[in-house]
């Protein structure tokens, strides 16, 4: 498969995930920039209002407030931001059962072998397990089904994570 085909199919997956989220979730949609998820963020912003938040733990706190207001929030971040958000999750979101969807770019895994991301890449799924947050991997074959599975947990009152591997949306295709 050529890099051009990989990038094009990645954009199709990003579009499918964005459309599925926009159709199934009331929002709000908070994000911190993530190169892995840039195509998803771009497509999502064309469908629903999104809000760029400077810190991931702040985005999680804002999402907790949205949940208290009866909304179904989504926070899009890198896994390094998940690490930064542990206290907000462990002391606010989880004890008070403020369900939200975390869409987590999995830096330091798969195609992303940059040294500074490797440790977080290695521990992300274990960290989610330790927090009791179910993790769902988003794939190319059925991205809408993967979104639906993660949202089933959220609709049941649990915070859940949808994991985005490097390359899913075409990241790295231009390298």
107-124 pLDDT, tens per residue?
A: 999 999 999 999 999 999
Q: With bands split at pLDDT 50, 70 and 90, how would you rate the model's confidence at 175?
A: very low
Per-residue pLDDT tens digits for 56-75? 999 999 999 999 999 999 99
Whether the model pTM is above 0.85: yes
| Strand blocks (E) in the chain | 29-31, 50-52, 74-78, 101-105, 135-137, 160-164
Residue 171: what pLDDT? 83
Question: Under DSSP, is residue 25 helix (H, G, I), strand (E, B) or coil?
Answer: coil
């Amino acid at each position: 498969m050529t890099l051009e085909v990989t990038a094009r199919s990645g954009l199709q997956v990003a579009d499918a995930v964005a459309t599925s989220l926009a159709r199934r979730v009331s929002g709000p949609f908070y994000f911190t920039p993530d190169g892995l998820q840039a195509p998803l963020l771009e497509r999502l912003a064309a469908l629903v209002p999104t809000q760029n938040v400077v810190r991931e733990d702040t985005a999680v706190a804002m999402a907790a407030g949205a949940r208290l207001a009866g909304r179904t929030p989504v926070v899009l971040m890198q896994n390094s931001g998940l690490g930064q958000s542990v206290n907000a999750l462990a002391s606010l979101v989880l004890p008070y059962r403020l369900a939200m969807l975390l869409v987590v770019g999995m830096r330091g895994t798969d195609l992303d072998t940059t040294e500074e991301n490797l440790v977080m890449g290695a521990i992300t799924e274990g960290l989610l397990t330790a927090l009791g947050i179910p993790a769902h991997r988003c794939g190319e074959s059925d991205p809408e089904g993967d979104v639906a599975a993660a949202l089933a947990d959220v609709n049941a009152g649990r915070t859940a994570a949808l994991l985005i591997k490097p390359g899913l949306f075409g990241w790295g295709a231009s390298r």
